[in-house]
Amino acid sequence: MAIFEGSGVAIVTPFFENGEVDYESFRKLIEFQIENGTDCIIVCGTTGESSTLTHEEHLECIRFCTEVVNKRIPVVAGTGSNCTETAVYLSQEAEKYGVDGLLLVTPYYNKATQKGLIKHFTTVANSVKVPIILYNVPSRTGCNILPETAVELARNVENIVGIKEASGNIGQIAHLAQLADGCIDIYSGNDDQVVPILSLGGKGVISVIANIAPKKTHDLVRKYLDGDVKGSLELQLASLPLCDALFCEVNPIPVKKAVELMGFCGGTLRMPLTEMEEAHALRLEQAMKDYGVL
């Protein structure tokens, strides 16, 4: 059984102006997601600025999110690292908090070989019992999980059950679906490719746009899974201008501005991420209005 089907939000981590985590705003964002039909919350991923959280902050955000959600929907915790030992530590600690799954990004910067990826992911997976979603985002990590590697992991490691595919390479994802024959759950990691990946047997999306349009993102996936392909496609195409605006600067700069515009929290980012360019912010605001979320 899949950890979740539908729309999983890669939720932002709100900060005060002094850079500390704003837990009260975090609670409001979590409740907003649940109230609007989000099917899963992915905490401390790229969009949650996990790379600039201390280990203590990282784990406290996971604990807090799990506690607030309180099993109403699944919680998946980002616990990946380019250091296998660190990924094991974060994963084991997150498991203690009762998360429903873990999201493990490929090791970044040191760029493991496919053999190294198999050893890395197997080591982390064997250290816990909770199910695991691999995260393939070569544009950010410089490391690509080949379809053959993902399938080998899914078939040989019991708790590796899914993959977030953000390679952007539909041909590669189609090859993965063909090789896997259902042995691994595939989630879109790109908001502009949800319907194409669903058409290949995907289970849903781990989404940035869901931070500000949770109901529409949920409906986009639900319509497809319920057989309303036309309705799902209409929502996908309508979302594209907002998707473009949300990625006109590196994620999560624009989505942090978007939740600020919606009044949920300040748009504070941790360096080296910086404030969105004014022209881009105006474009984002207009796209949000056009999509009916502002």
pLDDT tens, N- to C-terminus, the chain (294 residues): 799 999 999 999 999 999 999 999 999 999 999 999 999 999 999 999 999 999 999 999 999 999 999 999 999 999 999 999 999 999 999 999 999 999 999 999 998 999 999 999 999 999 999 999 999 999 999 999 999 999 999 999 999 999 999 999 999 999 999 999 999 999 999 999 999 999 999 999 999 999 999 999 999 999 999 999 999 999 999 999 999 999 999 999 999 999 999 999 999 999 999 999 999 999 999 999 999 999
**Does the pTM of the predicted model rise above 0.75?**
yes
HEC sequence for the chain: CCCCCEEEEECCCCECCCCCECHHHHHHHHHHHHHCCCCEEEECCCCCCHHHCCHHHHHHHHHHHHHHHCCCCCEEEECCCCCHHHHHHHHHHHHHCCCCEEEEECCCCCCCCHHHHHHHHHHHHHCCCCCEEEEECHHHHCCCCCHHHHHHHHHHCCCEEEEEECCCCHHHHHHHHHHHCCCCEEEECCHHHHHHHHHCCCCEEEECHHHCCHHHHHHHHHHHHCCCHHHHHHHHHHHHHHHHHHCCCCCCHHHHHHHHHCCCCCCCCCCCCCCCCHHHHHHHHHHHHHCCCC
In a domain, 80, yes or no: yes
In a domain, 140, yes or no: yes
The domain of 71 spans: 6-226
In a domain, 180, yes or no: yes
Active site residues: 135, 164
Structural domain count, the chain? 1
In a domain, 167, yes or no: yes
In a domain, 271, yes or no: no
CATH number of residue 23's parent domain: 3.20.20.70
In a domain, 284, yes or no: no
In a domain, 119, yes or no: yes
In a domain, 152, yes or no: yes
